[in-house]
A and B are shown apart, each in its own frame.
Chain A
Amino acid sequence: MIELKNTVKKFDSYTALNGVDLKIEKGTAFGLLGSNGAGKSTILRLLSGIYKQEGGEVLIDGEPVFDNVKVKQKVFFINDETVQFGGYTLNELKNYYKNYYPNFSEELFESLRKRINLPLKKKINTFSKGMKRQAIVIIALACKTDYLLLDEAFDGLDPTMRIIVKKMLVDAMLDRQLTTIISSHNLKEINEVCDSAALLHNGKIIFSREIDSMKGEVHKIQVVFPKKADGTPTEYTKEDFASTGLEILHFERKQSICYIIAKGDENTVRAAFAPKEPLLLEMIPLTLEEIFIYELEVLGYDSNNIGTD
């Protein structure tokens, strides 16, 4: 299990993580979401023992990670760059990592390599960006570590290869309870692969929970209210609904029709609207991307705000 307890990470005077608490159970596929500079990559580097936290604890299976060989053996980190592998052939790179990960499986490596048909003896700098990604992913999977950390894992992969790589990851998760932590801006991929996710903003965790429950707790609501007695449209404001106890993430009104993004289970939402006797109340579940956008909008991370700054 991975635990971050009140973790603080600073880069000189800049605080990248400010008291982060996070728990990731073993065997989970966990997505790290967040705005640029939110601290996603920092969390991955803390978990792989590259960075040392300034405060709090970073634990894997109950042990601190930094400078701990025993723990680091259980973790493989793939960062968002591939340029560092350029001087190697796939075979050389495989042998490089094989030295450090005692569970490395030649058979698994070979079977994965054949699946994606990567050349063994060619220099990696002759590979395309996607091929480089594939190369390091199959090496990482062949190392058979307990934890796999991927930073922008699917960057550069074509749609077919994405499916193959995702399949590889899912197979590993099913076969040996691999815990995968994926940081990505591609929420569709997180949505497809991960069963839990955390949203980070400005070095803090906004929320962390299972994706399905996350989707069930945020709703896009389209509601139409009857006109007033004098025939004018009913003009409810955001505060009218917030006073009912609902957490309104987004509110938009066009005459009598309101478009609302609100948190809470379906029954709670319906109960909150019932006193106002809507003519029509339609609830649509949000995609992860919409949740991301609306959650951050509440925190001021809004395309309108940022664009006009």
Chain B
Amino acid sequence: MTATTSAQTKSFFGKRFMTDIKENKKTLIINLMLELLGLPLFSVLAIIAIYIDEVETKIDMLDNWAAILLPFSRISVLTILTSILLGIVIAHLNFSYLSKKSKADMNYGLPLSNTQRFFADYLSGLAIYIVPVFIAIILSFVILGIGSAIIDMSVFWEDALVPIVKAGFIAIVGMIMLYTVSVFALVFCGSPFEVSFSHIAINILIPATIGCVWLAIVTSTSYGMVGESIFYSPVFTATSPFGAVVFFFMYFIGAYDASTIEESSYYNSMYIRWMIAAVIMIAVYLLASYLLYKFRKAESVSKPYVYKAFFYVIGASAVFCIISLLIATGINTVAAAIAGVIICGVGWFIMEVITRRGFKRFWTAIVGFAATICVVFLICVICRITDGFGASRYVPAAISVESVSVNLNNSSLLPDEIDSNVEFSDKDVIKAVTAFHKEAVDRHYNFDDYTYNITENIHNDSTNRYDKQSVEITYHTIYGSTVMREYSVMSSMLSDMVEAVLCSDEYAEIASREVAVSLINAASEDGYTSVYIPNNKKNGRLYIKNKLGDGVTSVALRADSVEEFRNAYKNDLMEMSQEELENGSVYCYIGSDYWVLDSFENTIGFLEAHDITLSPIGRNDITDGGVQVNGKDYWSTNEIEIISDPFFYTSTDIFRTREDKYHYYNDESQDGVAEVDGITTALASSDSNYYGGASEDDYIVDKNFVKLINASTPFMFNEKPIAIIRIYNQSMTYYIRDTAENRELLNSISKVPNK
């Protein structure tokens, strides 16, 4: 060779890359056209919608503008979907020589190494797939920028831009995953039919298998397991294109739901972690594809499966999914399993006939199927024996938990905005939550140390007259995993956990921030603001409610005062000692959820500086509704109820004594298993349907009743109340401590059972 060697150092990778782009320029143009009809058209429609929304009140003829824009938005959505699916087609085109014999020589014979050829083909396909997306995004921003010059789009730029851009990146990562998984499916197959089949199979089976393994775990042990938690797991959402679609939509829904605390959304907090996990998974698929490609032989081009193991992996996954789904949804496990074996058997042999191109060595197919069935049943049996591979017994070590959120399901203990939405990373909170979790597990599995254990029957709501508190815990571990559990427990079990949450600096920070947001929203005429921005000062309005939850007064605050109030409330919460919390009495409420205790000097000082002083509850404060004592109506409605019978709210379904371990009974006459002992809270939404012969003669709102209300406390930790006060119209619960004075007060209005 003469001059050839002089060119040895030239990059054939680059040449292959450019050649591929040139070869697929038609696909590139089609993709570009689809993308241009997608996001940019959507942007135009958004501008038109915002503009029409502004002038709608002035121009009647535009009433049905939404109907006019709808077909165009459908075009936009359709083209976006088509361009996403184009990833599969592009992968096919760029690697067509892997399944077309005529093209194999042409490509393998070129002066390229396997590595150069693979990465040039992969990256050129990716460029054809993704570059039009970026062009469409840039063009969309240009359109929106032009739109901003014409109409006011400040709401979009301030509130929607960040979630949309983030969602855009989720979509792009999802698309790259779809393309990479398509390449992966191509490299282990050698014929067009198997390539097409494997595309479908791999895209369905990766998420389906993960989902069905989870389903098997959940169905084998229902205690504490949360079925839908699979949608929160990166194992599901970051491992397949379908998972990415789930994450994309859940992110949007989460961003929409988190109207007051943007960063509270689980999907928001998981964004970076999901991105990292998804990129790692793409890298794994790419590396696997590369290795399979590198060790694949050119002569394998017409083989159905170049690596036969994938046929068995796909087949086994499909068999597992079908059988586990049938078992999970079937009433009779054995019948479901037999039906599953029959269905899978037929499918398996059809696929064997297709891939073997006939009945050659058919006995190996029978052996393969039998082995697969054995493995699948072995997994199911192990799952059952080990209570879902020990999942329901698993309690994360506090040290491994990065953050935790607690959902007490509308309990008055935590404000709605904070309940379940806030990620606590305080080590004391995490320790308290894991301790609670461990107790819940121990009471179920290692119940010897307890007087009662918790049954699995947590979803039985036939009666809600329980001292039952539903708790959902979500851990995010330092390893990026998410652990979700749901329990119904006696409220006394929650004491330490709730106390740790309320005394944490994080709670002080978040609660004070949310108070500031509620103040600003109360003053806003344009709607609400979703996020508190320290430097974005706004005026607010402070609404004060008394202990009964009735509005007392309100005062307008300038922006500086909003900030001042926020700091005052925050400092009080941060300075609040455990003792103050345990013995505190409610001074007032800010808005409807944020309590101010008597000990909150800074907050009360701020209120007094604004001429707001609250007196204890008096007779006149009880102006409407009625009073009920131990189920007996003393007035016309059930607005306020005092329950002092400790056996009134007990459970026979949720809790059971050690002696009654195998006996369920649901007869209220046999109550007495659980006690209202050390109550933290009770169901705020509980309605009373037990009437004890009320009459107008029983009507009583005397000074002792009012005293009792003033003596009640919103929290009780690890001690036994002698009564509960419920204020139904405000969903509030108070507790009455066991003191001589309280007993006397209670005796004067109702008979208290002896201890």
List A residues at the B interface (Cβ < 8 Å): 11, 45, 48-52, 61, 67-70, 72-77, 79, 81, 83-85, 96, 99-103, 144-146, 176
Contacts and interface: CB of A to CB of B under 8 A. Distances in A.
Contact of B15 (A51, A61, A83, A100): A100
A149 to B, nearest CB: 9
Q: How large is the interface on B (under 10, 10 to 19, 20 to 34, 35 or more residues)?
A: 20 to 34
Interface string B57-73: 00000000000000000
B332 to A, nearest CB: 46
Contacts of A48: 105, 109
Contacts of B299: 11, 45, 51
Interface stretch (B111-119, B269-277, B525-533, B541-549): B111-119
Contacts of B15: 99-100
A73 B105 contact: no
Contacts of A144: 3-4
A52 B103 CA distance: 18
Interface stretch (B5-13, B344-352, B599-607, B689-697): B5-13
B358 to A, nearest CB: 16
Given A73-B7, A77-B109, A51 B1 contact: no
A69 B104 contact: no
B102 A72 contact: no
Contacts of B10: 102
Contacts, number: 88
B460 interface: no
B18 interface: yes
Interface SS, B side: helix
Contact of B19 (A81, A99, A102): A99
A103 B10 CA distance: 12
Contact of A50 (B4, B16, B109, B113): B109
Contacts of B12: 69, 100
B108 A74 contact: no
A103 B4 contact: yes
A52 B300 CA distance: 12
A84 B102 contact: yes
A83 B102 contact: yes
B2 interface: yes
A72 B109 contact: yes
A-B interface, 6 closest residue pairs, ranked by CB to CB distance from nearest: A102-B7, A72-B111, A73-B111, A146-B1, A50-B108, A84-B102
Given A74-B4, A103-B2, A146-B1, A69 B112 contact: yes
B703 interface: no
B96 to A, nearest CB: 10
A49 B108 contact: yes
B113 A67 contact: yes
A69 B113 contact: yes
Contacts of B19: 96, 99
B113 A74 contact: no
Contacts of B104: 50
B108 A102 contact: no
A64 to B, nearest CB: 12
A75 B3 CA distance: 13
B19, B110, B112, B113 pick with most chain A CB within 10 angstroms: B110
Contact of A51 (B8, B103, B298): B298
Contacts of B6: 102
Nearest to A97: B110
B102 A145 contact: no
B334 interface: no
Nearest to A41: B105
A61 B4 CA distance: 13
Contacts of B112: 69, 72, 100
A49 B114 CA distance: 11
A71 to B, nearest CB: 8
Given A69-B111, A83-B102, A102 B3 contact: yes
A103 to B, nearest CB: 5
6 contacts: A51-B299, A69-B112, A84-B100, A100-B12, A103-B4, A146-B1
B297 interface: yes
B609 interface: no
Nearest to B8: A70
Which of B103, B106, B113, B298 neighbours the largest number of chain A CB atoms within 10 Å of its CB? B106
Contacts of B114: 67
